[in-house]
Amino acid sequence: MAKKTPLLEVKDLHVKVEGKNILRGIDLTVKAGEVHAVMGPNGSGKSTLAHVLAGREGYEVTKGGVRFAGSDLLAMAPEERAREGLFLAFQYPVEIPGVSGMNFLKSALNEMRKHRRLPELDAMDFLTLAREKMRLLEIDEKLIQRAVNVGFSGGEKKRNEVFQMAMLEPRLAVLDETDSGLDIDALKIVANGVNSMRSPDRAIILITHYQRLLDYVVPDKVHVLAHGRIAKSGGRKLALELEKKGYGAFGQSAASVAA
């Protein structure tokens, strides 16, 4: 029954950044249980889409709208969107000196739980849960003792994003180039993490430049973003096609799609 309402419905979304039109009419419908890949060359508007969905300042929606589980997503503050179950794995996770990962994530999780009218977790329960997820994602326990992302390697930062996603159990996860800059081992770990999150109640949007992540996380749908529009949508094959032909066919420079 719930699947009748799409989890995410982006309609004719136009967005300006510093006066420049970046998104020029995006239409995208994502249902619970689906994994979508949004691909495209640099500058096509991929990250802008991710940031607009998460509610980052500095993006002006000039036309169109977004509904999230039936509600007007754009009317919500960023933290409300997060509490409603929208998660963004950042392309460049930011460092927060002095704040331990444990403290950070425990506060975040408890905000979500408060919002869902669940009792807050105390330190012990939180740690038990965190350990379980860390084992699953092959993450060193020391990671959450350290300050958030401070001194982390690129791979550790990305894994930490996936770990946070696993802890917060969002309804919609948007992964913004989580695969970039990862070596093959790290990529597999991240992919395993994402695959373990697949569930009939959850949707995942993978934003990526390259198709290699899709070897490990097989998407239900693939969209190609070019010039701020979805130029083509298709199944898994579209990604493979892109790998052969590049983005040239979509009028943007033929950046390599294969890693």
Partner 1 sequence: MAVASDTAKTIESATGGDYKYGFVTDIDMDFAPRGLNEDIVRFISAKKNEPDWLLEWRLKSYRRWLTMTEPRWARVRYAAIDYQAAYYYAAPKSTELLDSLDEVDPELLRTYEKLGIPLEEQKMLAGVAVDAVFDSVSVATTYKEKLAEEGIIFCSFSEAVQTQPELVRKYLGSVVPYSDNFYATLNSAVFSDGSFVYIPRGVRCPMELSTYFRINAENTGQFERTLVIADAGSYVSYLEGCTAPMRDENQLHAAVVELVALDDAQIKYSTVQNWYPGDKDGKGGIFNFVTKRGACRGVNSKISWTQIETGSAITWKYPSCILQGDNSVGEFYSVAVTNNHQQADTGTKMIHIGKNTRSTIITKGISAGKGQNTYRGQVKILPGADGARNYTQCDALLIGDQCGGHTIPYIEVRNPTAHVEHEATTSKISDDQLFYCMQRGLSAEDAISMIVNGFCKQVLMELPMEFAVEAQKLLDISLEGSVG
Nearest distance from C-beta of residue 5 to partner 1, angstroms: 23
Applying CB under 8 A, the residues found at the interface with partner 1 are 54-57, 77-79, 81-83, 87-88, 90, 93-100, 103-105, 107-108, 111-112, 115, 147, 164, 168
Nearest distance from C-beta of residue 212 to partner 1, angstroms: 26
Nearer Cβ to partner 1, position 174 or 230?
A: 174
Nearer Cβ to partner 1, position 34 or 84?
A: 84
Nearest distance from C-beta of residue 164 to partner 1, angstroms: 7
Nearer Cβ to partner 1, position 175 or 242?
A: 175
How far is residue 173's CA from residue 32's CA, in Å, rounded to a whole number? 11
Closest to 212 (Cα-Cα) out of 35, 39, 49: 39
Nearer Cβ to partner 1, position 59 or 210?
A: 59
Nearest distance from C-beta of residue 229 to partner 1, angstroms: 26
Tell me the backbone φ, ψ of residue 150, rounded to 5 degrees: -75, 120
How far is residue 83's CA from residue 225's CA, in Å, rounded to a whole number? 28
Closest to 93 (Cα-Cα) out of 7, 172, 181: 181
Closest to 120 (Cα-Cα) out of 129, 98, 193: 129
CB 104 within 8 A of CB 145: no
Nearest distance from C-beta of residue 203 to partner 1, angstroms: 17
Three-state secondary-structure class, residue 46: helix
Nearest distance from C-beta of residue 236 to partner 1, angstroms: 29
How far is residue 112's CA from residue 114's CA, in Å, rounded to a whole number? 5
Nearer Cβ to partner 1, position 75 or 184?
A: 75
Nearer Cβ to partner 1, position 152 or 210?
A: 152
Nearer Cβ to partner 1, position 113 or 227?
A: 113
Q: How many Å from the N-terminal Cα to the C-terminal Cα in the chain?
A: 40
Q: Which token pair is 125? A: 């329960």
Cβ atoms within 10 Å, residue 235: 12
How far is residue 222's CA from residue 208's CA, in Å, rounded to a whole number? 11
Nearest distance from C-beta of residue 61 to partner 1, angstroms: 17
**Sheet of strand 59-68, all strands in order from the earlier edge strand to the far edge:** 20-30, 8-17, 59-68, 71-72
